[in-house]
Structure 1
Amino acid sequence: MRFMTWFVRIAGCYNASAIVVFLTPGAPEAVGLRMPDAQFWVWLPALVGLFAGVVLVLSSVDLRRFGAFPYWNGIVRLVFVVVVFALDLPEQAGAFVTVLAIGDLPLALVAIFGLPRVLRCSHSDLLRNRLHPIGAAV
């Protein structure tokens, strides 16, 4: 359980770092991102990353209660990986998107397959947020 708690916490910090990369002048270009003209498209991924990071860090405090959040975050990460390569996003946004997708793949797989093991519940339980503390009557 301790590993998964730290794993979710680190994944949250990784997500929250998006705000630094997107909003630090020159940082996106330095890592190979092609920035859009409209600032809305710069702020949106930064704030979405920050929100997901906050949710993951808060969820890591009590995975038995809030384990569905990192589980769903793993599914979202996996969808992102598929979309990056299916839509050839590196061609549109820059090669760094490939790095993000490759980095998100293990985070997604560990969350999706690790949380059910650690929490001793089914994928269905996590999908539906039907988690029960160990020892509780079901």
Structure 2
Amino acid sequence: MRFMTWFVRVAGVYNASAIVVFLTPGAPEAVGLRMPDIEFWVWLPALVGLFAGVVLVLSAVDLRRFGAFPYWNGIVRLVFVVVVFTVDLPEQAGAFVTVLAIGDLPLALITIFGLPYVLGCGHGDLLRNRLYPIGSVA
């Protein structure tokens, strides 16, 4: 459990590091990202990433109770990896997206397969946030 708690925190900090790159003037271009002309499209993914990072860090406090959040985050990360390589996103957005996807892949897989193992529950329990039977005292 200690490893998974630490791992979920690291995943949240990983989100924060990507946000720093997105929002630091000149940094996106330095790592090869093609930035949109409209600032809204820079800030929107950054704020979504920030929210996910905060949720991960807070979820790490009690994975038994909040494990569904990092589990779903792992699924979202895995979908991102698939999208990056199936729609050739690096060609459109820049090579840094490939680095993000490669970093997200182990985070996604370890979270998706590690959380059920560590928590002693099934994937369906985490998908439905049913770590405690309905009506039980947590």
- Alpha-carbon distance change, 137 to 38 in structure 1, aligned in 2, over 3 angstroms: closer
Residue 137 of structure 1: CA displacement?
Answer: 7.6
CA contact (8 A) 1:16 1:51 kept: no
What CA deviation, in whole Å up to 9, does each residue of 1:47-94 have, x standing for no partner?
A: 011000000000000000000000000000000000001110000000
**Identity percentage over the alignment?**
88
CA contact (8 A) 1:77 1:105 kept: yes
Give the count of matched residue pairs.
Answer: 136
Task: Give TM-score, length-normalised by structure 2.
Answer: 0.95
RMSD of equivalent CA atoms: 1.5
Q: Give the counterpart letter for 1:48 in structure 2.
A: V
Which consecutive unaligned segments of at least 5 residues does structure 1 have? none
Distance (Å, rounded) in 2 between the aligned partners of 1:17 and 1:54: 12
1:39-118 aligned at under 5 Å gives the runs 39-118=39-118
* Residue 124 (structure 1) aligned with residue 124 (structure 2): yes
Q: Secondary structure at the match of 1:85?
A: helix
CA contact (8 A) 1:13 1:53 kept: yes
Q: Secondary structure at the match of 2:71?
A: helix
Residue 20 of structure 1: CA displacement?
Answer: 1.0
Residue 11 of structure 2: aligned partner: 11
Which consecutive unaligned segments of at least 5 residues does structure 2 have? none
Q: Secondary structure at the match of 1:45?
A: helix
Residue 29 of structure 1: aligned partner: 29
What CA deviation, in whole Å up to 9, does each residue of 1:90-110 have, x standing for no partner?
A: 000001101110110000000
Distance (Å, rounded) in 1 between the aligned partners of 2:130 and 2:17: 30
CA contact (8 A) 1:21 1:28 kept: yes
